[in-house]
Amino acid sequence: METILPPCADACPVKTDVRGYLSAIAERDYLKAYYLIKEHNPFPAVCAWICPHPCEGSCRRGAVDEPLAIRDLKRFAVEKGRETWKSFKNKPGKISPPYPFSRFEIRNSNLEPRTSNLEPREGKVAVIGAGPAGLTAAYDLTCKGYPVTVYEKCPAPGGQFFSSLPAYRLPAAALTQDLEDILACGMEIKAGIEVGKNLSFQELYANYQALVISVGLSMSRKLMLPEFDHPEVWLALPFLQAVKQGKSPKLNKNILVIGGGGVALDVARTAIRVGAEKVSLICLEKREEMVAPAEEIEEALKEGVQIIPGYGPKKILFAGGKITGLEIKKVHSIYDQNGNFNPVFFENKTNIVPCATIILAIGQTTNLSFLEDSPIKLNENGWLAADKNTLATSLAGVFACGEVVAGAGPAISAIASGHRAADSVHSYLQNHSFSFNHNQKIKVIGSLPPKTAKLIPPFTRQKIWSFETGGKHVYEERAAITEAHRCLSCGLGAEVISPQCSLCINCLRVCPYHAPVVQSQLQIPPENCLACGFCASVCPSKAITLKNLPENEILALLQPLPPAQDSALAIFICRHALAEANLPLDFKLMPGFKNSCLIKLPSVGALKLFWLLAAIENGFAGVIVISCSKSTCQHSGGLNLAENQVKRAKEIYTTVGINPARLLFLSSGEAALTTKLTAFAEQLKSLGPKHQPANAPPLLPPP
């Protein structure tokens, strides 16, 4: 089976449906957006704050103007969607926790509980470590019905999220809400219990049918140079942990941080927040080679951190036993010809950086001392050796996930690793062969062709200040909707049913992006298609279908109505217009719209003439078409296409004896739009019953 993904989803380690939740935000359906984010990620709030968002680097919109602000939109959706989710689950008659989120499905954009019950499974599982990987594995296994116990040496679950990640990067409330949802599924957490100290690994192995080791990289690396054991030389994680616990260390006013990764920047920026007057940072890499996210580097510079790239430490300088500075030397190269880390320096090119305290942030390592008497093998890095597919260790029934296997990386990668470990444990306990993505082949949509990119109207990316001192901001609703509308819906466009194509080239005539290619048969490459739907709306042989507008779903909504619903209305609305005009998400709450049927179009140019005719024939009293305004229309020519379809429909109405006033065409940019809609519903009552001559032929769908 082949899965076609847009680059944004493919770049995400857990394959989040980015395209789907951006579309839901654009339609103001925040509950759906929240569901789609949480579907494969039990840490939606955490990742909405700290994820390095590789999806944005892969966003095809970047070839037009700027990539979508995907992480900022995720943060908006999580906050808004969770509010709706909390109100939903507390309604009388609805199922509330401890049901896991994965037991819900989308029905009409609401989360409804499935009727099936979760059956307990045989096989107890222990997870060592309650970081993102371990908790993800525990969550998945608990949701599958296994009794799971998580052992965590810290006083609370969360791993480095809880113990060391600075509050300015991750608010405590975000972690708390994710942990509440994870723990609500029913796993047992034994916090403050350290394996190897409070109980042995051998005890766990004897009492559980499967184990998952996810202890992460919990120790800072030391620098093996003379004098670096001085009391004024700190390690990164102990420093961050002390601050997180409210035990801010007494630092001197002049701080030097060594390291070029995200943790080094966390240390530098935290030092400023606890009173340092001057903070410098040296790293081996050049500025453009630093592994820390570019936006965090920019924010550190704004906050006053002085970054000195391309240098390494040579020796600490002292006066009277106190640190006065660090002599540094210029880097010649960091890696050898085989790509191995092996720094070479210009020993005679040195500088001196004044400082009174040095904090080392040169990487993390793990503590696996609890495995000393076990047969589990380690790799050359001193981390757990595990099968790259199954994550099984050398001891049967023991699996490993997260950074203790893969090394340092973002939380979302640890979450993906936790999913894989859970699948492996499930297969092991059920005596199944391991089949993680075994039959799934992923095809990624190619980059946006330059010729196509030039034809797409540019829209300015909505800006927010993401890393402001004292906490980050969340998008205002209007800005979030506007930003989400910039999504190109990559891969949701046209598909061609070749045997039905008559090569009339109508599609080529109307496509604003020149996507159709007509040779011996019609082709519409997904890289070129922007999912506007123009081609399908004018195809006379029904040879073009839209992934984001399935014909069978439209016809199901327009099926014949019973006589009792003689006041029903069919509403066709551009998805952009729905949000742009700030119309109610549920039209049925508007006066006169109780029996309305809402059909959301990717663009108003996707409107088909047949739908306008079928609605009236099948008993709808009136039809409304609402387009976006010209100034915000994302697809050139869509308004003209829709106007032509409406004009032709009115002509046919008149021909068969139906009052054309039963069809209303409006723009979301019009003043008093809601008032006009209500007036139209009232006007239909004065038109009397619909009339169609007995000899008029029935309206049939195109072949």
Residue 637 is assigned to a structural domain of this protein: yes
Closest CA to 19 of 445, 489, 578: 489
| Together in a domain, 304 and 225 | yes
Q: Which of 88-102, 215-229, 468-482, 663-677 has the lowest mean pLDDT?
A: 88-102
| Together in a domain, 204 and 177 | yes
pLDDT, tens digit, 9 for 90 and up, residues 364-376: 999 999 999 899 9
Query: Between residues 696 and 464, which one has the greater pLDDT?
Result: 464
| Together in a domain, 568 and 683 | yes
If one counts the domains in the chain, the total is: 5
Query: How far apart (Å, rounded) are the C-alpha atoms in residues 112 and 88?
Result: 9
For residues 501-536, one letter each, b for 16 or more C-beta atoms within 10 angstroms of the residue's C-beta and e for the rest, the string is beeeebbbebbbbebbeeeeebebebebbbbbbbbb
Question: Does residue 285 contact residue 308 with C-beta atoms inside 8 Å?
Answer: no
pLDDT, tens digit, 9 for 90 and up, residues 349-362: 999 999 999 999 99
pLDDT at 439: 53
| Together in a domain, 333 and 347 | yes
| Together in a domain, 570 and 678 | yes
Domain end (from 484, 511, 530): 484
Query: How far apart (Å, rounded) are the C-alpha atoms in residues 8 and 23?
Result: 14
Q: What value does the mean pLDDT take over residues 42-71?
A: 96
For all residues of the chain together, what is the average pLDDT? 89
| Three-state secondary-structure class, residue 256 | strand
pLDDT, tens digit, 9 for 90 and up, residues 498-528: 999 999 999 999 999 999 998 888 999 999 9
Residue 437 is assigned to a structural domain of this protein: no
| Together in a domain, 659 and 553 | yes
| Together in a domain, 394 and 513 | no
Percentage of the chain lying above the pLDDT 90 cut: 74
Residue with tokens 């996210």: 293
Burial of 629 (0-12, 13-18, 19+ CB in 10 A): middle
pTM, two decimal places: 0.89
| Together in a domain, 563 and 700 | yes
Question: Does residue 696 contact residue 656 with C-beta atoms inside 8 Å?
Answer: yes
| Together in a domain, 65 and 107 | yes
| Three-state secondary-structure class, residue 339 | coil
Radius of gyration of the chain (CA): 30
Whether residue 296 is predicted with pLDDT greater than 60 in this model: the reply is: yes
Residue type, 12: C
Task: Give the CATH number, domain containing residue 244.
Answer: 3.50.50.60
| Together in a domain, 564 and 593 | yes
Question: Does residue 361 contact residue 325 with C-beta atoms inside 8 Å?
Answer: no
Task: Give the CATH number, domain containing residue 505.
Answer: 3.30.70.20
Strands 622-627 and 597-601: unpaired
| Together in a domain, 460 and 584 | no
| Together in a domain, 540 and 654 | no
DSSP 434-486: P-TTTT-EEEE--PPPHHHHTTSPP-PPPP--SS-TT------HHHHHHHHTT
Question: Does residue 69 contact residue 483 with C-beta atoms inside 8 Å?
Answer: yes
**Bond preceding residue 249 cis, omega within 30 of 0:** no
Domain that holds residue 346: 219-364
Question: Which residues, in sequence order, are bridge partners of residue 364?
Answer: 220
Residue 440 is assigned to a structural domain of this protein: no
Containing 364, the helix (H) or strand (E) segment is: strand 364-365
pLDDT at 431: 87
pLDDT at 437: 54
pLDDT, tens digit, 9 for 90 and up, residues 146-194: 999 999 999 999 999 999 999 999 999 999 999 999 999 999 999 999 9
Q: What value does the mean pLDDT take over residues 647-671?
A: 93
Question: Which residues, in sequence order, are bridge partners of residue 317?
Answer: 325
Residue 434 is assigned to a structural domain of this protein: no
Strands 322-335 and 341-354: antiparallel
